[in-house]
Amino acid sequence: MTPNESTRSYEDYLEYRQSRQRIPQYEQYLARKLFSPHDPYVILRNKYPYTENHFLFWIHPTYERFYSSFTRIKSIVHTHFPDRTILHLFENTMENRSVLKIRHVHVILDK
């Protein structure tokens, strides 16, 4: 995959690839870093953003079945960011996902 206008910057792309190569078993490492034992989800600013105000709604694999609806995810995002508007909420297609084992939804907020 190479970046284009709708993806992250080329510099972010290269940094991301390097971190994936540097860390063995990256997805297990990521799960340990993201979640405390009983966190069903976390919302974090995207370290490798596609655009400004790009957050990720990470869903703990154990609780994934409770977050099948974008309606629920939107409601939670509004609770965390009551003064912001969701501009876009999406999941990458399977062929464009770099993290396959931890479901995550991209959240683009206004400024």
pTM for the model stands at: 0.79
- Quick check: 85 and 110 in contact, CB under 8 A? yes
pLDDT-derived band at 107, boundaries 50, 70, 90: very high
Please give the torsion angle defined by the CA atoms of residues 60, 90, 82 and 64, in that order, rounded to the nearest 10 degrees.
Answer: -20
Buried b / exposed e along 19-49 (16+ C-beta atoms within 10 A): eeeeeeeeeeebbeebbeeeeebebeebebb
pLDDT in tens, 23-75: 667 788 788 889 998 899 999 999 888 889 999 999 999 999 999 999 999 99
End-to-end CA distance of the chain: give it in Å, rounded. Answer: 29
